[in-house]
Amino acid sequence: MRNSTYRTIFMATFVIFWGLFWVGQSSAKDSRDSAAKQAKPSEAKEQKRRLPFAGYPVILYTPETSIILGGGAAMTIRDQKDPENARPDNMNFYAIYTLKKQFAALFNPDFYFHGDKWQIKTMLGYQKFPDLFYGIGNSNSDADAEDVTTEDFIIRPALTCRVYKNLRLGATYHFNHTSIQQVEPDGKLSREKLPGSHGSLLSGLGPIIEWDSRDNIFYPSQGSWLQFYATVYRGWLGSEFDYESYTLDFRYFLEVQNRHILAFQLVAKTMQGLVPFNHLARLDQLRGIHGSRFRDQQLAVAQVEYRYPIYQRFSGVLCTGVGDVMHRSSDFQLKQSKFSLGVGLRFAAIPNDKLNLRLDVGFSRYGINPYFQLSEAF
Protein backbone atom coordinates (compact mmCIF):
# COMPACT_ATOMS: atom_id res chain seq x y z
CA MET A 1 0.00 0.00 0.00
CA ARG A 2 2.80 2.41 0.91
CA ASN A 3 4.70 1.63 -2.30
CA SER A 4 1.52 2.37 -4.24
CA THR A 5 1.23 5.75 -2.50
CA TYR A 6 4.80 6.72 -3.29
CA ARG A 7 4.37 5.59 -6.89
CA THR A 8 1.29 7.77 -7.19
CA ILE A 9 3.16 10.78 -5.75
CA PHE A 10 6.01 10.24 -8.21
CA MET A 11 3.67 9.95 -11.19
CA ALA A 12 1.68 13.02 -10.12
CA THR A 13 4.92 15.04 -9.84
CA PHE A 14 5.94 13.91 -13.33
CA VAL A 15 2.54 14.76 -14.75
CA ILE A 16 2.40 18.24 -13.24
CA PHE A 17 5.56 19.34 -14.98
CA TRP A 18 4.31 17.87 -18.26
CA GLY A 19 1.14 19.85 -17.72
CA LEU A 20 3.15 23.00 -16.93
CA PHE A 21 4.83 22.77 -20.31
CA TRP A 22 1.43 22.42 -22.02
CA VAL A 23 -0.28 25.32 -20.27
CA GLY A 24 2.89 27.38 -20.52
CA GLN A 25 2.91 27.03 -24.29
CA SER A 26 -0.80 27.88 -24.42
CA SER A 27 -0.33 30.95 -22.20
CA ALA A 28 2.66 32.10 -24.24
CA LYS A 29 0.48 31.97 -27.35
CA ASP A 30 -2.22 33.97 -25.53
CA SER A 31 0.37 36.60 -24.63
CA ARG A 32 1.58 36.86 -28.22
CA ASP A 33 -1.99 37.13 -29.49
CA SER A 34 -2.73 39.81 -26.90
CA ALA A 35 0.32 41.80 -27.91
CA ALA A 36 -0.68 41.55 -31.57
CA LYS A 37 -4.12 42.86 -30.78
CA GLN A 38 -2.70 45.82 -28.89
CA ALA A 39 -0.61 46.63 -31.95
CA LYS A 40 -3.75 46.58 -34.12
CA PRO A 41 -6.59 48.37 -32.30
CA SER A 42 -9.03 47.84 -35.15
CA GLU A 43 -8.59 44.06 -34.90
CA ALA A 44 -8.83 44.18 -31.12
CA LYS A 45 -12.26 45.76 -31.35
CA GLU A 46 -13.46 42.85 -33.39
CA GLN A 47 -12.44 40.38 -30.69
CA LYS A 48 -15.19 40.79 -28.11
CA ARG A 49 -14.34 37.90 -25.78
CA ARG A 50 -11.18 36.48 -24.24
CA LEU A 51 -11.05 32.70 -23.82
CA PRO A 52 -7.95 31.69 -21.80
CA PHE A 53 -7.58 27.91 -21.67
CA ALA A 54 -5.50 25.51 -19.60
CA GLY A 55 -5.30 21.74 -19.67
CA TYR A 56 -3.34 18.95 -18.06
CA PRO A 57 -2.91 15.21 -18.65
CA VAL A 58 -3.32 12.46 -16.05
CA ILE A 59 -1.28 9.26 -15.99
CA LEU A 60 -1.47 7.34 -12.70
CA TYR A 61 -1.46 3.83 -11.34
CA THR A 62 -3.26 2.23 -8.39
CA PRO A 63 -3.81 -1.48 -7.66
CA GLU A 64 -7.61 -0.99 -7.75
CA THR A 65 -7.67 0.64 -11.18
CA SER A 66 -4.46 -0.39 -12.98
CA ILE A 67 -3.23 2.45 -15.26
CA ILE A 68 -5.35 5.61 -15.28
CA LEU A 69 -5.37 7.81 -18.38
CA GLY A 70 -7.19 11.09 -18.80
CA GLY A 71 -6.96 14.78 -18.21
CA GLY A 72 -8.64 17.97 -17.16
CA ALA A 73 -9.21 21.39 -18.66
CA ALA A 74 -10.50 24.80 -17.65
CA MET A 75 -11.58 27.87 -19.58
CA THR A 76 -12.45 31.37 -18.40
CA ILE A 77 -14.60 33.68 -20.53
CA ARG A 78 -14.58 37.47 -20.36
CA ASP A 79 -15.82 40.33 -22.48
CA GLN A 80 -12.97 42.64 -23.44
CA LYS A 81 -14.82 45.53 -21.80
CA ASP A 82 -15.09 43.75 -18.44
CA PRO A 83 -12.95 45.13 -15.59
CA GLU A 84 -10.26 42.81 -14.24
CA ASN A 85 -12.16 42.28 -10.96
CA ALA A 86 -15.32 41.14 -12.77
CA ARG A 87 -16.45 37.57 -12.19
CA PRO A 88 -15.53 35.56 -15.31
CA ASP A 89 -17.69 32.80 -16.73
CA ASN A 90 -15.75 29.57 -16.42
CA MET A 91 -15.96 25.89 -17.28
CA ASN A 92 -14.05 22.93 -15.83
CA PHE A 93 -13.92 19.43 -17.25
CA TYR A 94 -12.23 16.28 -15.96
CA ALA A 95 -12.28 12.75 -17.34
CA ILE A 96 -10.29 9.58 -16.65
CA TYR A 97 -10.38 6.01 -17.95
CA THR A 98 -8.62 2.94 -16.60
CA LEU A 99 -7.38 -0.25 -18.22
CA LYS A 100 -9.97 -2.09 -16.09
CA LYS A 101 -12.71 -0.26 -18.04
CA GLN A 102 -13.55 2.17 -15.24
CA PHE A 103 -14.54 5.72 -16.12
CA ALA A 104 -15.28 9.03 -14.45
CA ALA A 105 -16.15 12.44 -15.90
CA LEU A 106 -17.13 15.74 -14.31
CA PHE A 107 -18.24 18.97 -16.00
CA ASN A 108 -18.74 22.23 -14.06
CA PRO A 109 -19.97 25.26 -16.05
CA ASP A 110 -20.42 28.52 -14.13
CA PHE A 111 -22.07 31.54 -15.83
CA TYR A 112 -22.93 35.09 -14.77
CA PHE A 113 -25.64 37.26 -16.34
CA HIS A 114 -26.44 40.99 -16.14
CA GLY A 115 -23.01 41.73 -14.73
CA ASP A 116 -22.81 39.33 -11.84
CA LYS A 117 -26.39 39.76 -10.63
CA TRP A 118 -27.46 36.28 -11.73
CA GLN A 119 -25.32 33.18 -11.47
CA ILE A 120 -26.02 29.68 -12.80
CA LYS A 121 -23.64 27.01 -11.59
CA THR A 122 -24.01 23.35 -12.51
CA MET A 123 -22.29 20.06 -11.75
CA LEU A 124 -22.79 17.24 -14.26
CA GLY A 125 -21.08 13.95 -13.51
CA TYR A 126 -20.88 10.31 -14.40
CA GLN A 127 -18.67 7.65 -12.88
CA LYS A 128 -18.25 3.92 -12.78
CA PHE A 129 -15.35 3.73 -10.41
CA PRO A 130 -14.02 1.79 -7.41
CA ASP A 131 -14.06 3.22 -3.91
CA LEU A 132 -13.35 2.07 -0.37
CA PHE A 133 -15.86 1.62 2.43
CA TYR A 134 -14.53 1.50 6.00
CA GLY A 135 -17.89 1.52 7.74
CA ILE A 136 -19.83 4.37 9.33
CA GLY A 137 -18.43 6.46 12.16
CA ASN A 138 -15.18 8.12 13.21
CA SER A 139 -13.23 5.04 14.30
CA ASN A 140 -11.90 2.30 12.04
CA SER A 141 -8.69 0.59 10.93
CA ASP A 142 -6.98 -0.17 7.63
CA ALA A 143 -8.27 -3.74 7.90
CA ASP A 144 -11.87 -2.47 7.78
CA ALA A 145 -11.52 -1.25 4.20
CA GLU A 146 -13.57 -3.10 1.62
CA ASP A 147 -13.87 -2.50 -2.11
CA VAL A 148 -17.09 -1.17 -3.61
CA THR A 149 -17.79 -0.05 -7.18
CA THR A 150 -20.74 2.17 -7.97
CA GLU A 151 -22.17 3.72 -11.12
CA ASP A 152 -23.42 7.27 -10.56
CA PHE A 153 -25.26 9.86 -12.63
CA ILE A 154 -25.15 13.32 -11.01
CA ILE A 155 -26.93 16.58 -11.87
CA ARG A 156 -26.71 19.55 -9.50
CA PRO A 157 -27.69 23.00 -10.84
CA ALA A 158 -27.85 26.10 -8.64
CA LEU A 159 -29.27 29.54 -9.40
CA THR A 160 -28.51 32.61 -7.26
CA CYS A 161 -29.32 36.31 -7.52
CA ARG A 162 -27.43 39.20 -5.94
CA VAL A 163 -30.10 41.00 -3.93
CA TYR A 164 -27.99 43.43 -1.86
CA LYS A 165 -24.29 44.25 -2.24
CA ASN A 166 -22.50 40.92 -1.60
CA LEU A 167 -25.62 39.01 -0.56
CA ARG A 168 -27.00 36.37 -2.92
CA LEU A 169 -30.14 34.24 -2.58
CA GLY A 170 -31.15 31.28 -4.67
CA ALA A 171 -32.02 27.62 -4.94
CA THR A 172 -30.37 24.32 -5.78
CA TYR A 173 -31.57 20.96 -7.07
CA HIS A 174 -29.79 17.62 -6.68
CA PHE A 175 -30.39 14.45 -8.69
CA ASN A 176 -28.22 11.39 -8.14
CA HIS A 177 -28.80 7.85 -9.36
CA THR A 178 -26.50 5.20 -7.91
CA SER A 179 -26.34 1.53 -8.82
CA ILE A 180 -24.07 -0.82 -6.89
CA GLN A 181 -21.86 -2.67 -9.36
CA GLN A 182 -19.65 -4.70 -7.04
CA VAL A 183 -19.17 -5.31 -3.31
CA GLU A 184 -17.18 -7.81 -1.31
CA PRO A 185 -19.32 -10.93 -0.69
CA ASP A 186 -18.55 -11.06 3.04
CA GLY A 187 -18.28 -7.32 3.61
CA LYS A 188 -20.40 -4.93 5.65
CA LEU A 189 -22.41 -3.82 2.61
CA SER A 190 -23.41 -7.42 1.95
CA ARG A 191 -24.09 -8.44 5.55
CA GLU A 192 -25.56 -5.38 7.23
CA LYS A 193 -27.91 -4.17 4.46
CA LEU A 194 -27.15 -0.52 5.04
CA PRO A 195 -29.35 2.20 3.43
CA GLY A 196 -28.31 2.49 -0.20
CA SER A 197 -26.45 -0.84 -0.26
CA HIS A 198 -28.66 -1.91 -3.20
CA GLY A 199 -28.47 1.45 -4.93
CA SER A 200 -30.42 4.69 -4.61
CA LEU A 201 -32.23 7.41 -6.49
CA LEU A 202 -32.10 10.85 -4.88
CA SER A 203 -34.03 13.96 -5.84
CA GLY A 204 -33.99 17.02 -3.63
CA LEU A 205 -34.11 20.80 -3.67
CA GLY A 206 -33.59 23.66 -1.26
CA PRO A 207 -32.45 27.25 -0.68
CA ILE A 208 -29.02 28.88 -0.91
CA ILE A 209 -27.86 31.91 1.07
CA GLU A 210 -24.48 33.32 0.11
CA TRP A 211 -22.25 36.25 1.06
CA ASP A 212 -19.27 36.83 -1.23
CA SER A 213 -16.84 39.73 -0.77
CA ARG A 214 -13.77 37.99 -2.23
CA ASP A 215 -11.61 39.99 -4.63
CA ASN A 216 -11.15 36.92 -6.87
CA ILE A 217 -13.17 33.70 -7.16
CA PHE A 218 -10.19 31.44 -7.95
CA TYR A 219 -7.36 32.78 -5.73
CA PRO A 220 -8.62 35.42 -3.29
CA SER A 221 -6.19 37.62 -1.39
CA GLN A 222 -8.84 39.32 0.74
CA GLY A 223 -12.51 39.12 1.59
CA SER A 224 -14.82 36.36 2.76
CA TRP A 225 -17.23 33.79 1.38
CA LEU A 226 -20.10 32.36 3.41
CA GLN A 227 -22.56 29.87 1.99
CA PHE A 228 -25.44 28.05 3.63
CA TYR A 229 -27.53 25.62 1.64
CA ALA A 230 -30.12 23.03 2.51
CA THR A 231 -31.42 20.17 0.39
CA VAL A 232 -34.63 18.31 1.19
CA TYR A 233 -35.13 14.88 -0.40
CA ARG A 234 -38.70 13.62 -0.58
CA GLY A 235 -40.72 10.93 -2.33
CA TRP A 236 -42.93 13.49 -4.06
CA LEU A 237 -39.75 14.74 -5.79
CA GLY A 238 -38.95 11.22 -6.96
CA SER A 239 -36.47 10.39 -4.21
CA GLU A 240 -36.28 6.86 -2.80
CA PHE A 241 -34.96 8.21 0.52
CA ASP A 242 -36.43 10.95 2.70
CA TYR A 243 -33.89 13.10 4.53
CA GLU A 244 -32.51 16.63 4.84
CA SER A 245 -28.96 17.92 4.45
CA TYR A 246 -27.70 21.29 5.78
CA THR A 247 -24.24 22.68 4.99
CA LEU A 248 -22.45 25.81 6.24
CA ASP A 249 -19.16 26.79 4.57
CA PHE A 250 -17.23 29.89 5.71
CA ARG A 251 -13.94 31.09 4.17
CA TYR A 252 -11.83 34.12 5.03
CA PHE A 253 -8.77 35.47 3.23
CA LEU A 254 -6.17 37.94 4.53
CA GLU A 255 -3.15 39.28 2.66
CA VAL A 256 -0.58 39.81 5.41
CA GLN A 257 2.10 40.96 2.94
CA ASN A 258 2.32 41.31 -0.82
CA ARG A 259 1.20 37.90 -2.22
CA HIS A 260 1.53 36.29 1.23
CA ILE A 261 -1.98 35.14 2.12
CA LEU A 262 -3.62 33.41 5.05
CA ALA A 263 -6.75 31.45 4.15
CA PHE A 264 -9.21 30.00 6.68
CA GLN A 265 -12.12 27.62 6.23
CA LEU A 266 -14.80 26.30 8.58
CA VAL A 267 -17.29 23.66 7.38
CA ALA A 268 -20.23 22.19 9.28
CA LYS A 269 -22.72 19.69 7.90
CA THR A 270 -25.67 17.93 9.44
CA MET A 271 -28.05 15.34 7.97
CA GLN A 272 -31.35 14.10 9.34
CA GLY A 273 -33.36 11.10 8.20
CA LEU A 274 -32.52 7.89 6.35
CA VAL A 275 -29.33 8.70 4.40
CA PRO A 276 -27.75 6.26 1.89
CA PHE A 277 -24.31 5.14 3.05
CA ASN A 278 -22.51 6.71 0.07
CA HIS A 279 -24.14 10.12 0.63
CA LEU A 280 -23.24 10.53 4.29
CA ALA A 281 -20.98 13.46 5.18
CA ARG A 282 -17.37 12.54 4.44
CA LEU A 283 -14.17 13.87 5.95
CA ASP A 284 -12.71 14.55 2.51
CA GLN A 285 -11.58 18.12 3.16
CA LEU A 286 -8.49 17.10 5.16
CA ARG A 287 -5.54 16.38 2.90
CA GLY A 288 -3.73 13.25 4.05
CA ILE A 289 -6.89 11.26 4.86
CA HIS A 290 -8.64 9.15 2.24
CA GLY A 291 -11.89 10.90 1.41
CA SER A 292 -13.97 7.78 2.08
CA ARG A 293 -12.28 6.81 5.34
CA PHE A 294 -14.73 8.48 7.73
CA ARG A 295 -18.41 9.18 7.12
CA ASP A 296 -21.48 9.86 9.26
CA GLN A 297 -24.47 12.21 9.60
CA GLN A 298 -22.56 15.14 11.14
CA LEU A 299 -19.30 16.81 10.14
CA ALA A 300 -17.12 19.65 11.45
CA VAL A 301 -13.84 20.76 9.82
CA ALA A 302 -11.43 23.70 10.20
CA GLN A 303 -8.53 24.40 7.81
CA VAL A 304 -5.77 27.00 7.51
CA GLU A 305 -3.48 27.67 4.56
CA TYR A 306 -0.45 29.90 4.16
CA ARG A 307 0.01 30.83 0.49
CA TYR A 308 3.28 32.41 -0.61
CA PRO A 309 5.08 33.32 -3.87
CA ILE A 310 8.09 31.31 -5.06
CA TYR A 311 9.15 32.53 -8.51
CA GLN A 312 7.19 34.22 -11.26
CA ARG A 313 4.16 31.93 -11.91
CA PHE A 314 5.08 29.45 -9.18
CA SER A 315 3.81 29.69 -5.62
CA GLY A 316 3.59 27.42 -2.60
CA VAL A 317 1.17 26.40 0.14
CA LEU A 318 1.49 25.09 3.68
CA CYS A 319 -1.75 23.76 5.14
CA THR A 320 -3.14 22.14 8.24
CA GLY A 321 -6.58 21.05 9.31
CA VAL A 322 -8.61 19.36 12.02
CA GLY A 323 -12.04 17.78 11.89
CA ASP A 324 -14.25 14.77 12.50
CA VAL A 325 -17.54 13.09 11.70
CA MET A 326 -20.10 11.98 14.26
CA HIS A 327 -23.62 10.55 14.48
CA ARG A 328 -24.92 13.41 16.65
CA SER A 329 -23.37 16.84 17.20
CA SER A 330 -23.31 16.09 20.94
CA ASP A 331 -20.91 13.21 20.19
CA PHE A 332 -18.12 15.60 19.13
CA GLN A 333 -14.92 15.24 21.17
CA LEU A 334 -11.86 17.30 20.29
CA LYS A 335 -9.45 14.59 21.44
CA GLN A 336 -10.91 12.18 18.86
CA SER A 337 -10.63 14.67 15.99
CA LYS A 338 -8.46 13.93 12.98
CA PHE A 339 -5.45 16.12 12.18
CA SER A 340 -3.50 16.61 8.96
CA LEU A 341 -0.62 18.62 7.50
CA GLY A 342 0.23 19.34 3.88
CA VAL A 343 2.53 21.10 1.44
CA GLY A 344 1.72 22.23 -2.06
CA LEU A 345 3.05 23.69 -5.29
CA ARG A 346 1.07 26.05 -7.53
CA PHE A 347 1.52 27.11 -11.15
CA ALA A 348 -0.53 29.99 -12.57
CA ALA A 349 -2.19 28.25 -15.52
CA ILE A 350 -4.31 31.31 -16.38
CA PRO A 351 -2.43 34.20 -14.72
CA ASN A 352 -4.89 37.01 -15.48
CA ASP A 353 -7.70 35.18 -13.66
CA LYS A 354 -5.39 33.66 -11.00
CA LEU A 355 -6.45 30.12 -11.85
CA ASN A 356 -3.80 27.70 -10.59
CA LEU A 357 -2.78 24.16 -11.31
CA ARG A 358 -2.08 22.60 -7.92
CA LEU A 359 -0.15 19.65 -6.55
CA ASP A 360 -0.62 18.98 -2.83
CA VAL A 361 0.69 16.18 -0.65
CA GLY A 362 -1.14 15.62 2.64
CA PHE A 363 0.18 13.78 5.70
CA SER A 364 -1.72 12.27 8.59
CA ARG A 365 -1.54 9.24 10.86
CA TYR A 366 -3.78 7.53 8.30
CA GLY A 367 -1.43 7.89 5.34
CA ILE A 368 0.11 10.10 2.68
CA ASN A 369 -2.11 11.26 -0.16
CA PRO A 370 -1.38 13.35 -3.29
CA TYR A 371 -3.87 15.76 -4.87
CA PHE A 372 -3.54 17.11 -8.40
CA GLN A 373 -6.09 19.38 -10.09
CA LEU A 374 -6.98 22.85 -11.28
CA SER A 375 -8.15 25.42 -8.67
CA GLU A 376 -7.55 25.70 -4.95
CA ALA A 377 -8.73 23.33 -2.24
CA PHE A 378 -10.93 26.19 -0.97
- Asked, for residue 96, whether it belongs to a domain, the answer is no
Q: What is residue 15's predicted lDDT score, i.e. its pLDDT?
A: 45
- Asked, for residue 83, whether it belongs to a domain, the answer is no
What whole-number distance in Å separates Cα of residue 146 and Cα of residue 165?
49
174, 185, 274, 339, 367 from 295: Cα distances, Å: 20, 22, 14, 16, 17
- Asked, for residue 301, whether it belongs to a domain, the answer is yes
The CATH number assigned to the domain holding 154 equals: 2.40.160.50
Question: Checking phi first, is residue 295 left (phi over 0); if not, alpha (psi -120 to 50) or beta?
Answer: beta
Q: What is residue 134's predicted lDDT score, i.e. its pLDDT?
A: 94
Between 43 and 341, the more confident residue is 341
Q: What is residue 22's predicted lDDT score, i.e. its pLDDT?
A: 46
- Mean pLDDT computed over 284-306: 95
- Asked, for residue 21, whether it belongs to a domain, the answer is no
Contact (CB, 8 A) for 221 and 215 = yes
Degrees to nearest 5, angle at CA 311 with 316 and 355: 60
- Asked, for residue 49, whether it belongs to a domain, the answer is no
What whole-number distance in Å separates Cα of residue 337 and Cα of residue 321?
10
For residue 269, the one-letter residue type is: K
- Asked, for residue 54, whether it belongs to a domain, the answer is no
pLDDT at 272 over 90: yes
**356 closest CA partner among 375, 377, 378:** 375
Q: What is residue 49's predicted lDDT score, i.e. its pLDDT?
A: 62
Q: How many helices (H) and strands (E) does the chain have?
A: 3, 19
Q: H or E element: which one contains 336?
A: none
What whole-number distance in Å separates Cα of residue 198 and Cα of residue 200?
7
Structural domain boundaries enclosing 199: 102-374
The SS3 of residue 52 is coil
Alpha helix ranges (H) inside the chain: 2-39, 41-46, 188-191
Q: What is residue 81's predicted lDDT score, i.e. its pLDDT?
A: 76
- Asked, for residue 258, whether it belongs to a domain, the answer is yes
Strands (E), 213-259: 223-233, 243-257
- Mean pLDDT computed over 361-372: 92
Q: Which of 39-48, 123-132, 172-181, 288-297 has the lowest mean pLDDT?
A: 39-48
Q: What is residue 222's predicted lDDT score, i.e. its pLDDT?
A: 96
Q: Whole-structure pTM over 0.75, yes or no?
A: yes
DSSP percent split of the chain into helix, strand, coil, nearest 5? 15, 55, 25
What whole-number distance in Å separates Cα of residue 299 and Cα of residue 369?
21
* Number of domains the chain contains: 1
Q: For 204-258, write each residue's pLDDT tens digit.
A: 999 999 999 999 999 999 999 999 999 999 999 999 999 999 999 999 999 999 9
- Cβ count near 15 (within 10 Å): 18
Contact (CB, 8 A) for 224 and 265 = no
Contact (CB, 8 A) for 345 and 339 = no
Q: What is residue 11's predicted lDDT score, i.e. its pLDDT?
A: 46
Q: H or E element: which one contains 208?
A: strand 200-212
Q: What is residue 6's predicted lDDT score, i.e. its pLDDT?
A: 38
- Asked, for residue 211, whether it belongs to a domain, the answer is yes
